[in-house]
Structure 1
Amino acid sequence: MRYELLGPLRVTNGGETFSLSAPKMEMTLATLLLGAGRVTTKDQLATELWGSCPPRRASAAVHVYLSQLRKFLVSAGDSEGRAISTRPSGYVLHLDGAAYDVAEFQELVRDGRHHQDAGRHEAALEAFELALLLLRGPVLDGLAEGPALSAFATWAEAERLDCLELSVEARTALGRHREVISLLDGLIAQYPLRESFYRQLMLVLYRAERQAEALRVYRKAQRVLRAELGLEPCRSLRRMHQAILTSDRVLDLPLAS
């Protein structure tokens, strides 16, 4: 079995995909997945499902959801019905060898960072690209409302952007300038307030001997940040601007290989 939470929630087994049709059921399973291997209390489940205004029979409703989830997981491959166990204060989801896309994503990013630090940029890029493939869209199709699930959805989006930045760094180190410029143009259009994308684009334009364009990117970032946030560019972006103005040779140095 394989649990997939980095997008619409689903469980896969072999070539078959199993999905829950009821949002409350999805939120229940997602909450249990976040605490896999640990007790998720009934109060935590109620908070994720109904916020600060649970119904009078919330405990009974949670019990029904858990009963239905057990049946769902049995149909998805938990033949012995042991994936969810009951504790006095709540419930525990046991992975017991089942794959979990969140754990796979984190491992791939760790591997990519390790390769990047060691100068193995091809291997790093491969790891980051595989990690990005696991991110299939908004967590729970954007239905996450409870505090834990909302925080997880925010984390997943932040990790996706960080992973994109890391993949750009790997491509830049490999000298794939045209590819990186095209990618960053799209990312800046999509995320105009993310300063790191401007900095990365300035660097790769400079290395592609397009210094004037790199300086125009800085001026664009400056205009956007002033208009939208009333702020000046961050220190790292200002440093990149100054380094390009002075043709600082540190910008010509390739990353460790």
Structure 2
Amino acid sequence: MTPRLDPAFLGAPVAHRALHDVADGRPENSRAAIRAAIAAGYGIEIDVQLTADNNAVVFHDYALDRLANGAGPVRSVSAVGLSQMPLLGGDEGIPDLPEILKLVAGRVPLLIEIKDQDGAMGPNIGPLEAATAAALEGYIGPAAVMSFNPHAIAHMAELCPDIPRGLVTSSYDPAVWPLPKETCARLRDVPDFDRVGASFISHEVADLARPRVAALKAAGANVLCWTVKSPEAEVVARRIAENVTFEGYLAAHPG
């Protein structure tokens, strides 16, 4: 049986890369941003990348340059090395996933995006999924995993079948995505939803009117969206999406 999202994921808005604001010392995916999201009662979306020693760290980019006091690929540095590498705009290093799970401790819903490690949304995956599944073993509280790469989610279904899983979906504009047009065309139609045992999608907010989104919703899939950046955009998104992933403003709690 396909595991369903905990209803908590359809309640409080989800803070994109946690409740980050470097002007207030809270970089993306940082402990400070996660603590702030918990304090505000928001759900949390985080990203995981692979380290040189096959651990999962909470970090969005493939390279360190934009977000940390470092350079080069995240996966060229060990988890310990990354923990000692300060995030720009804050005063702490890059956390690993087990630490963040202990910090959240089930207090708010946690949505974990597994970043594509294949480079082309293909089947060359495995170590990051294994590290993520190992960290989630025994976790108590609302948690779910998702990825743009369907192969990653199919593997998560094997590794931790009881954790709800979804696909991050998009218009896959070839002008934006560094992928072949054929790959974009295939992924745009979300053909793998049933194959990977997904129960939800998180779809690009500007593309929510796509008929495939409506068809999935009508078939019982939960529809989340990314990334809402204003209250006005949130109102429009909620006409289709059951919940929003937001940043750059404080989303209102329902009710």
Q: TM-score, normalised by structure 1?
A: 0.26
Q: Which has more strand, going by share of residues?
A: 2
Which structure: greater helix fraction? 1
State which structure, 1 or 2, has the greater radius of gyration over its C-alpha atoms. Answer: 1
For normalisation by structure 2, the TM-score amounts to 0.26
